[in-house]
Chain A
Amino acid sequence: MDNIIEFKEWFIKNFNAFEESLNGENTPLLHRVRKEAFKNFNELSFPTVKDEEWRFTNISPLLKYNFTLPSEDFKISDELVNKFLLNEIESNILIFVNGKFSEKNSKLLNLPEGTIVGSISDAMKNNPEIIDKYFGKYASYSNQIFTALSTAFTKDGAFVYVPDSKIVEDPIHIIFITTASEKKIIIQPRNLFIASKNSQVTIIEHFVSENDNIYFTNAVTEIVAEENAIIDHYKLQEESKNAFHIARVEIDQKRSSNFTSHSISTGGVITRNDINAHFNGEGGECTLNGLFLLEDKQLFDAHTLIDHATPLCNSHEHYKGILDDSSRGVFNGKVLVRQDAQKTNAFQKNNNILLSNNALVNTKPQLEIFADDVKCSHGATIGQIDEEAKFYLKSRGIGEKAANAILIHAFASDVIKSMKIDSVRNYLEDILSKRFNQ
């Protein structure tokens, strides 16, 4: 039997080799950031269920594996890519294969002048001034070990920069594909999305896999909405049912910006999503919606934070969970209204439906309010399929399966309807139909 190298040791041993393998992606600033992050990674320990923020999410199964960095250049077919397209007429597609940008599979047809869309490693070479201004500024790597790991080993990821007053009409669909491979690999997409003043963009982060391999995705996304910018962000996580997925999205919202996020999760054996939105100017709008569909022994954990640091901002949050078999869900939604954040409106809801007696949800809304002139509400429910409604449907000739499908669909419908992009909605409707009809 192989010597099992301890999870952390492996990365420590390989850091120098990794840094040496970099070429253009290494500006002096990035080098410093990586070094710092690596130092933090070295010093921090992995969270256990004794940490309040990880109480219900035991990651020890993840730490049992030795993951390695993907080394080869993988080629994938267009057929594989096509499986994950939202429709045939998408104009902006970025493909990452095992974490590495694949220009060959990507296309960018409809972007306004000055917009930069591509890989972050290219941006590090070609646009160091933008990278130096934004990279690593929002996802702090000082106290979060997975972010420290990602930052230390940053090599590739998606980069979107929309200049002032430009409107990107067609969504940018970023697909992270993990291919079948012998080795258990770790992929660490590191994304940076910037919408400059008065600009608008729709970005879809889409995580998929070729088969049901065991691997580890450790994703970090930093998003900046400058003054009056509008960002519509989607995350579709339908990875291998054996994959580990740990992801963090940090959003910085300037004055009068509008950020919307829809986080849809169906894959992964253990998935942890942290989404943290920070209002750093008056008049901001933030919507965080989510839908997770779990089965078997999947564990999904959504930790969200909406930080009302400035007055006159509105936030809306609605997460819904559908849990079957022995799956487990965690929703921890923190809304922080700081002392200066007067005239805040913050609304949060979390509704869950359990399709099996063995499924379980831990839901914890956390409102911390230090201002007095605010409107805030939150509510959480955990329920089952409504048997009366089901009997009503059956009494109209609708069978058990179809009746369940209809009611599950209905449960999810308000989150689905709140998504602005038709193609994403339809894609999700298809996932639901496939899961529950037949």
Chain B
Amino acid sequence: MLEVKNLHVSINGNKILKGINLTINAGEIHAIMGPNGSGKSTLAQALAGREEYVVTDGEVFYNGENLLELSPEDRARKGLFLAFQYPVEIPGVSNVNLLKTALNEIRKFHDEEELDAIDFLNLIKDKMKLVDLDESFLKRSVNEGFSGGEKKRNEIFQMAVLNPKLAILDETDSGLDIDALKVVANGVNKLKSKDNATIIVTHYQRLLDYIIPDFVHVLYDGKIVKSGGKELAFELEEKGYEWLKNGEEKVVTG
């Protein structure tokens, strides 16, 4: 589904990602872990198509297509979804308006009819249950004045409505209490299928108690320094990110 080859990304001329290689198949859940500032969000945003994140080298294929040539909106229309680490507040735009416009733009792209009002409402009501959000929330402005937990649940709610093929969750677990964490994890697990894939970017092992990844990658200083199964997450938790430095050296010397 996704193939990242030797990806280099710079921001304002600073090299942040320094050769990422990553292959993700349908049905898989990948966890990307790493300390603050290692480049996890940069990878996530670059995959979503943020312009400031300049790809200086490497390639990315998404279902066989050159992802880097697509606009952010076309990436989304083709099934890529990014749950932002810091969801943006948009005063004056209601959640329901955002979702309706997004769904219809995606459908238009695939030459499908617009959803009628009733089908749309049924769909979003159904998905709201998944993340335990109140209906009054639909009329509120996107993320404006939301608590941290509400923002994260809103990202999962949007994901549920847009039903992506490849979802990238950027620290959707950060700042959540255990109940909110369970709601988020439950949402992700319910949406999992053999046809879609998920990348979970996280700083902590905690979320992985609820979502079992097939693979865990450790990102450090713009490079994936270690990959393995879910046990890698436990190892990291135990030994801390200090251990990575050795890991990096091993890569270099080995």
Binds A, one of B15-23, B93-101, B122-130, B236-244: B93-101
* Contact indicator B76/A396 (Cβ below 8 Å): yes
What residues on B are CB-neighbors of A399 within 8 Å?
71, 73, 105
Contact with B along A366-398 (1 / 0, CB 8 A): 000000000000000000001011011111111
A414 to B75, CA, bound (A): 32
Chain A interface, >50% SS class: helix
Residues of chain B contacted by A394 (CB below 8 angstroms):
49, 71-73, 76
B77 A392 Cβ-Cβ under 8 A: no
**Interface residues contributed by chain A, number (CB under 8 Å):** 23
Which residues 382-438 of A sit at the B interface, judged by CB distance below 8 A?
386, 388-389, 391-400, 402-403, 406-407, 409-414
A388 to B51, CA, bound (A): 11
B97→A396 contact, CB < 8 A: no
Encode contact with A along B129-145: 1 for CB under 8 Å, 0 otherwise: 00000000000011000
Assembled-state Cα–Cα distance A161/B101 (Å): 46
Bound Cα distance A397, B80 (Å): 9
Which of B51, B92, B102 has a CB less than 8 Å from the CB of A396? Answer: B102
> Is the pair A398, B93 in contact by a Cβ cutoff of 8 Å?
no
Do A407 and B93 form a contact, CB below 8 Å, given A396-B76, A397-B76, A399-B73? yes
In the complex, the answer to whether A398 meets B90 with C-beta atoms within 8 Å is no
How many chain B residues touch A (CB < 8 A): the figure is: 33
- Measured CB to CB, the closest approach of chain A to B178, in angstroms, equals 28
Q: Do A393 and B98 touch across chains, with their CB atoms under 8 A apart?
A: yes
B106 within 8 A of A: yes
Cβ–Cβ contact A410 & B93, under 8 A: yes
Could you tell me if B92 and A409 are in contact, using CB atoms closer than 8 angstroms? yes
Of B31-39, B81-89, B204-212, the one contacting chain A is B81-89
B84 to chain A, nearest CB (A): 7
Query: Does B245 touch A at the CB level, under 8 Å?
Result: no
Contact B88 A388 (CB under 8 A): yes
**Chain B 53-86 residues near chain A, CB threshold 8 A:** 71-73, 75-77, 81-82, 84
- Kindly report which residue of chain B lies nearest to residue A416, judged by CB atoms: B92
CB contact between A397 and one of B73, B84, B97, B141 (< 8 Å): that residue: B73
* Residues of chain B from 100 to 126 with CB closer than 8 A to chain A in the complex: 101-103, 105-106, 109
Instruction: Given A409-B92, A410-B90, A413-B92, answer yes or no on A395-B98 (Cβ-Cβ < 8 Å).
Output: no
Q: Decide yes or no whether B188 CB sits under 8 A from chain A.
A: no
A-B contact pairs, 21 of them (CB 8 A): A389-B90, A391-B72, A392-B88, A393-B101, A393-B102, A394-B71, A394-B72, A394-B76, A395-B48, A395-B73, A396-B76, A396-B99, A396-B158, A396-B162, A397-B106, A398-B73, A398-B102, A399-B105, A402-B101, A403-B73, A409-B93
New A-B pairs, 10, CB < 8 Å, besides A394-B71, A398-B98: A386-B90, A392-B87, A392-B88, A392-B90, A394-B73, A395-B82, A400-B71, A406-B98, A410-B91, A412-B92
Q: Which 7 A-B pairs have the closest CB atoms?
A: A410-B92, A397-B76, A413-B92, A396-B102, A392-B88, A394-B72, A397-B106
